[in-house]
Amino acid sequence: MKRLRRLLRQRAMGRAAALLLGCAAATIACADDASFGSVITISNANGEDIYSHICQGCHMPHGEGAVGAGHYPKLAGDAALTSWQYVALTVIGGRNGMPAFGAPESLPWDSPTVHLSDAQVADVVNYVRSHFGNHYKDRVSASQVAQLPHPTAVPAP
C-alpha cells in the first residue's frame, strides 16, 4: 500500500496513457488512489501488485479459480505450474479468452489491453508459483522470459 503510493507519485503520464490506448486513456490515469495500478506506471508494479490488480479478477483472490459455463483454472496446486514456461507463455500470449499481456505496446488491438514487461511477467510468474500453496523453488528471470516467443505486431499487407 505504502509502496504503491510512492509509485503513484513516480508515475509518468505518457507511459500510462500509451498503456491504455486512447484518449480516455490519456486522461484516465490521474486519480491518486492506491486501488488502481493504472494511476501508477504499471511498469513499476511487481508480481504481487499485478496479481492482486489484474489476475485475481478471474483466477480469484486465493488462486482458487472459478466454474460457470466454463472455468478459470485454479492456480493453487495446479500441476501445470510445474512448467514456468507454460505459465510465462500464458501470461505473454494469452490462452483462449485470456488476453495477452506480453504483446508489444504498439500492437493494434481494437480494444484496450495491458502491456507488461518481461521483468514483470517473470515477477508475476514467480509470484503465482510461490503462493497459494505452490512452492516451486526455481525463479524465472526477465531474460529467460525474453527468450520465449511474444505476440508481434503484424506488418502491413
Partner 1 sequence: MDNLAGSGSLSRRQLLGMIGVTAGSAAMYQAMSSLGFAAESPYREPIDLQGTPPGASVLILGAGIAGMTAAYELRNAGYQVQVLEFNGRAGGRNWSLRGGDTYTELGGYTQHCQFDQGLYINPGPWRLPYHHRGILGYCKRLGVPLEAFVQVNYNAYLHNSQAFGGKPQRYREVKADYQGHVAELLAKASHQNALDASVSREDQEKLLESLREWGALDSNFSYVSSNSVSDRRGWAKEPGGGLTARPIPSQPVGLSEVLDSRLWSNIPSGDSYDMQTALFQPVGGMGRIGEAFGRELGPLIRYNARVTDIHQDDQGVTVSYQDTGKPGSALTASAQWCLCTIPLPILAQIPLNVSAAMAAAIASVPYASAIKIGLQFKRRFWEEDEDIYGGISYTDLPITNIGYPNTGYHSAGKGVLLGAYIWGLNAMEFTSMTPEERVQKAIEYGSQIHPQYKEEFDNGVAVAWHRSPFTMGCYGMWNADSRARHYDDLCQIDNRIVLAGEHASFIGGWQEGAVTSALDAIGRLHARVVARGATA
Interaction site with partner 1 (CB under 8 A): 19-31, 33, 35-39, 42, 52-58, 60, 66-72, 94-100, 107-114, 153-154, 157
Which of 1, 19, 50, 7 lies closest to 113, judged by CA?
19
Please, what is the minimum distance in Å from the beta carbon of residue 143 to partner 1? 26
Please, what is the minimum distance in Å from the beta carbon of residue 17 to partner 1? 10
| DSSP bridge partners of 98 | 95
CA–CA dist 126, 105 (Å, integer) = 23
State which residue, 64 or 136, has the beta carbon closest to partner 1: 64
Phi then psi for residue 70, to 5 deg, are -125, -155
Please, what is the minimum distance in Å from the beta carbon of residue 150 to partner 1? 13
Q: Which three cell numbers stand for residue 71?
A: 472455468
Contact predicate 92/145, CB 8 Å? yes
State which residue, 56 or 144, has the beta carbon closest to partner 1: 56
CA–CA dist 1, 35 (Å, integer) = 9
Contact predicate 28/112, CB 8 Å? no
State which residue, 38 or 126, has the beta carbon closest to partner 1: 38
Please, what is the minimum distance in Å from the beta carbon of residue 154 to partner 1? 4
State which residue, 99 or 130, has the beta carbon closest to partner 1: 99
